[in-house]
A and B are shown apart, each in its own frame.
Chain A
Amino acid sequence: MDLDALTGCLASSACLVTQTTSGFIIGMLLFLVAVGLTLIFGVLKVVNFSHGAFYMFGAYFAMTAYQLSGSFALAMLCGAAGTAILGLIFERVFMSRVYGADVLMQLLVCYAFVLIFDDVVRMIWGPEFKSMGMPAAFQVAPLFIAGGVVPPYYLLLIGVALAAAMILGLGLARTRIGKVIRAAAHNPGMVSALGINTGLIYGGVFALGGMLAGLAGALAAPVRSLTPGMGFSVLIESFIVTVIGGMGSILGALIGALLIGLIRSFGSLGFPLFTEGLMYLFMVIVLVSRPTGLFGKEVA
């Protein structure tokens, strides 16, 4: 434990800015993965354990697109669009068959695909780790804000993730499609009886969730090494986020992810040997005091 370092940091604006942005970067990528997870659970009522694979595919798609075209924007687009299509196919062909089934059955299907997707990546891109490399446009000196260090690429990353959060939140709350999705989450039988194609809604939501995870992977590709199985560690943290924020709540996922990010960045200063433990400890406290999560609704 190193409380001096922590209090010292809290007293200096430079350190505060640096550590807060560092927490936001970790949190925002986590949010993109976790929000897909929570959305799919909210509407489809399945826990998608293979969600980490979409993060992985997003990163690989982006890397390949970037290598072929040299365009960073196109790489992001390919990462997101590719995983959306993959999500749609995965949901329609496999997941839709196990909706009514036992939770264990769903888990088994998802876990099988964790292994299958990892092997597919290994077959296409090889077992060795890869690096996409930072696009030339972002190979610039970091910015100094109030003495704190902020890399420009991370500003973009936070911006894109925040924009995704806002579009998603507003879209669900304000648009007609959003209302249909919320209705389908609440009472799929009734929605179906009203002549709305719930299969399409389900596929769409799964594709959206996959796309967000893919976008996270694509955004992470320039700074994280790419390897088969890379989705797994992200998935575990995403679960912690959804448990803290409340399953099915988008705002919960955002707050939960940012909290985890901040716990990591400030925890590594104050409790360098217990940063991981802090996350779990926080989760336990939330679970004990609010079993449905910070923003979760009581299950009727």
Chain B
Amino acid sequence: MTRTRKPGVSRRATLAMMGAGALTFASPWLARAQAKTIKIGMPTILSGRVAQLGTSSRNAVMLEIEKVNAAGGLAGRQIEMVIRDSKGQPQEAARVARELVNTDGCEILIDAEASSGAFAVHEVARDLGVLCLHTNSETSALSADPKQHIPNAFRTARQGVHDSIVGGSYAAAIAKAKGLKKWATCSPDYAYGRDTTGEFVTYLKRFAPDIEIISESWPKLFQPDYTEVVTKILQAKPQALYSCLWGGDLTSYIDQANIYALFSQMEVFAVNMADYTALTVVKNLPKGIHSGNRYIKTYPATPENAAWGDAYKAKYNEYPTNWSWENATAIMLLAEASKKANSADGKKIAEAMRGLKIKSPFGADGTVTMRAEDQTLVGYAIGWGTTIPQEPYVPQVQAGDWKTIFELEAEWKKSKGYT
């Protein structure tokens, strides 16, 4: 005779139900314990060609979070980071951001996306009203365009228009000294590349009006081969070349342009060259490429900055990137604003953050400010110099002048109809 299971509730099911019941009753206590910690969600790019930058963003955030947590967290609440990969796709970044808030219960977002994804995350922040810090997008419109303005979103990154003003005046001085009149541009074909190049050319021409752009190339982002672009520029025979290619695209471009001896035929201005990711990867770095500072531990030449760069290197065994300092700044600002507001509430932190000036290793004068009117970072170290193929890579950086930047930025905003 086989034993059949009797109808009704089995012993095992009863036990399971009792267990579930016990958990339900216990969970208010659990929930209260969890509320002590505050979750911060962070979509970033952890795979694909930009993964290194995403990883360096995560590293910098974790480095700073450790310090904040050791000092008591955000208004007494320990921070727990929830970091997800967006694979660099805007729709994925938006989905991850939404999920982080709605499903994971994150109360603050660190948007460590490139510009393509940042605008998507920005819409999520607009929709959900959650405090959001854009840490990597340098497209000026994100904060300058009043249509994009929302009270809960801030940018702790540098801004394309600032770079262009400083780069334009630096390049114009060299153009005048060396008589460089014919220029070519070569930049990636997306929002950041188009905007930044346009702004650079505007300021270059403003400071040196007799300059002429004789050739433009717009390779697509992450294109594997630039040979056709390199040869096109060689045909045009410009005296100088501007490019805002970055990361692996820039190193590919340099390798491919090098064998055409392009760098010996024109002055090259590559705003994104002086970042350790590119500097340490290129094997035959041509001497004398003009570049804006991205992150370099020798500029600003302060003990604080050198110490921060070394601490990062000691922990992760590589140098920080441009994205690293921008993310670290986000955490530093969050901690200070929360201290000032004496709260971990997003709205109160946002209130405290507007106009907040903090001490920073990355400041031009040892401080950076979250400008109240458009909620974007100003006062960070910004300058241009020429590269050499070994450390310190950019031995002398000419600092940009923030007074000029502010004047021209205001003018630029007016011309765009933003103010």
CB < 8 Å: which of A122, A129, A154 contacts B251? A129
Chain A residues, Cβ within 8 Å of B373: none
For B35, the chain A residues whose CB sits under 8 A away are none
- Rounded to whole angstroms, the CA-CA distance of A233 and B220 in the bound complex is 11
Name the segment of B63-71, B144-152, B231-239 touching the other chain. B231-239
The 0/1 profile, CB within 8 Å of A marked 1, for residues 269-288 of chain B is: 00000000100011110000
Q: Is the CB of A276 within 8 A of B231?
A: no
Please pick, from B228, B231, B281, the residue contacting A149 in the complex, using a CB distance under 8 A.
B231
B274-316 contacts to A, CB under 8 A, are 277, 281-284
Q: Is A272 an interface residue (CB 8 A)?
A: yes
Per-residue interface assignment for chain B, residues 43 to 67, with 1 indicating a CB less than 8 Å from any chain A CB and 0 otherwise: 0001111011001000000000000
Task: State whether the Cβ of B418 lies closer than 8 Å to any Cβ in chain A.
Answer: no
Asked if residues B224 and A224 are in contact (CB atoms below 8 Å), the reply is yes
A149 touches B234 (CB 8 A): yes
* CB atoms of A227 and B248 under 8 A apart: yes
Q: Please indicate which of the listed interface residues B47, B216, B231 has the most CB atoms of chain A within 10 Å of its own CB.
A: B231
Residue B258 lies at the interface, judged by CB distance under 8 Å to chain A: yes
Q: Separation in Å of the A55 CB from the closest CB of chain B?
A: 10
| Interchain CB contact (< 8 A) of B261 among A15, A118, A142, A234 | A142
Using C-beta atoms within 8 Å of the partner chain, give the interface range for chain B: 35 or more
Residue from B49, B231, B260, B281 in contact with A19 in the complex, judged by beta carbons closer than 8 Å: B231
Contacts of B220 in A (CB 8 A): 276
0/1 per residue, A238-268, Cβ < 8 Å to B? 0000000000000000000000000011011
* Closest chain B CB from A20 CB (angstroms): 10
Q: Which residues of B contact A207 (CB under 8 A)?
A: none
Quick one: which of A128, A142, A220, A273 contacts B52, CB cutoff 8 A?
Answer: A128
CB-CB contacts of B217-258 with A at 8 A, as 1s and 0s? Answer: 110101111011111101100000000000111011001101
Q: Contacts A134-B258, A134-B284, A223-B252: A275 and B51 contacting too (C-beta < 8 A)?
A: no
B259 on interface, CB distance cutoff 8 Å: yes
Q: How far is the CB of B260 from chain A (nearest CB, A)?
A: 6
Task: Given the known inter-chain contacts A134-B283, A265-B231, A276-B220, please indicate yes or no for A154 contacting B259, CB distance below 8 A.
Answer: yes
Within 8 Å by CB of A22, from B47, B231, B282, lies B231
Judging by beta carbons under 8 Å apart, are A151 and B49 in contact? Answer: no
Closest chain A residue to B217, Cβ basis: A272
- Given contacts A129-B281, A132-B283, A149-B260, whether A268 and B229 have CB atoms under 8 Å apart is yes
How many angstroms from the CA of A227 to the CA of B255 in the assembled complex? 15
- Residues from 315 to 355 in B contacting A, C-beta threshold 8 Å: none
List A contacts of B256 (CB < 8 A).
Answer: 223-224
Please measure, in the bound complex, the distance between the C-alpha atom of A275 and the C-alpha atom of B228, giving whole angstroms: 10
Query: Any chain B CB within 8 A of the CB of A138?
Result: yes
**Given A225-B252, A272-B218, CB of A265 within 8 Å of CB of B51:** no
Instruction: List, in ascending order, chain A residues with CB within 8 A of B282's CB.
Output: 131, 133
Selected from A15, A29, A273, the residue in CB contact (under 8 A) with B218 is A273
Whether A229 lies near B260 (C-beta < 8 A) is no
Q: Smallest CB-CB separation from A128: which chain B residue?
A: B52
Q: Are A225 and B225 in contact (CB under 8 A)?
A: no
Is A141 close to B, CB under 8 A? yes
Q: Are A265 and B228 in contact, with the CB atoms below 8 A?
A: yes
A-B contact count (CB 8 A): 127
State the CA gap A225–B227 with chains docked (Å).
13
Q: Once the chains bind, are B223 and A233 in contact (CB under 8 Å)?
A: yes
Docked CA distance A170–B244 (Å)? 46
**B237 vs chain A, min Cβ distance (A):** 10
Given A228-B51, A272-B217, CB of A18 within 8 Å of CB of B259: no
Q: Is A222 an interface residue, CB under 8 A from the partner?
A: yes
Say yes or no: is A95 at the interface (Cβ < 8 Å to chain B): no
CA distance A265 to B218 in the complex (A): 13
Contact B248 A225 (CB under 8 A): yes
The reply to whether B224 and A18 contact each other, CB–CB distance below 8 Å, is no
CA A92 to CA B229, docked complex, whole Å: 41
Contacts of A25 in B (CB 8 A): 225, 227
CB nearest to B254 among chain A residues: A131
Chain B residues with CB under 8 A of A130: 281
- Complex formed: what's the CA distance from A106 to B230 in Å? 39
Identify the interface centre among A18, A223, A273: most chain B CB within 10 Å of its CB: A223
Interchain CB contact under 8 A, A129 and B232? no
CA distance A128 to B282 in the complex (A): 13
Q: Given A223-B252, A223-B255, A225-B249, A268–B217 Cβ distance below 8 Å? A: yes
* CB–CB B260/A26 < 8 A: no
With both beta carbons as reference points, the residue of chain B lying nearest to A115 in the complex is identified as: B47
* Distance (whole angstroms) from the CB of B276 to the closest CB of chain A: 11
A139-B284, A225-B281, A233-B222 are contacts. A269–B258 as well, Cβ < 8 Å? Answer: no
B286 to A: closest C-beta gap in Å:
11
Interface residue? A127 (CB, 8 A): yes
- The answer for the CA separation of A23 and B256 in the assembled complex, in Å, is 14
Q: Report if A26-B261 is in contact (Cβ < 8 Å); known contacts: A133-B284, A268-B217.
A: no
User: Quick one: closest A residue to B282, CB to CB?
Assistant: A131
Determine whether the beta carbon of A224 is less than 8 Å from that of B225.
Answer: yes
Q: Does residue A84 face the partner (Cβ distance < 8 Å to B)?
A: no
Q: Which of B47, B55, B228, B255 contacts A228 (CB 8 A)?
A: B47
> Is B277 within 8 A of A128, CB to CB?
yes
- Scan residues 49-98 of chain A and give those whose CB is less than 8 A from a CB of chain B: none
User: In the assembled complex, which residues on chain A have CB atoms less than 8 Å from the CB atom of B223?
Assistant: 233
- Minimum CB–CB distance from B188 to chain A (whole Å) comes to 13
Q: A129-B281, A151-B259, A228-B47 are in contact. List 16 more A-B contacts (CB 8 A).
A: A22-B231, A122-B47, A127-B55, A129-B277, A134-B258, A151-B260, A224-B225, A224-B255, A225-B252, A228-B48, A264-B228, A265-B227, A268-B228, A268-B229, A269-B235, A276-B220
A-B contact pairs, 10 of them (CB 8 A): A19-B235, A131-B251, A134-B255, A139-B259, A139-B284, A142-B259, A223-B259, A225-B252, A228-B48, A228-B51
Q: Which 4 residue pairs are nearest across A and B when measured between Cβ atoms?
A: A133-B283, A129-B248, A128-B52, A127-B51
B-side residues, CB < 8 A to A, are 46-49, 51-52, 55, 216-218, 220, 222-225, 227-232, 234-235, 247-249, 251-252, 255-256, 258-261, 277, 281-284
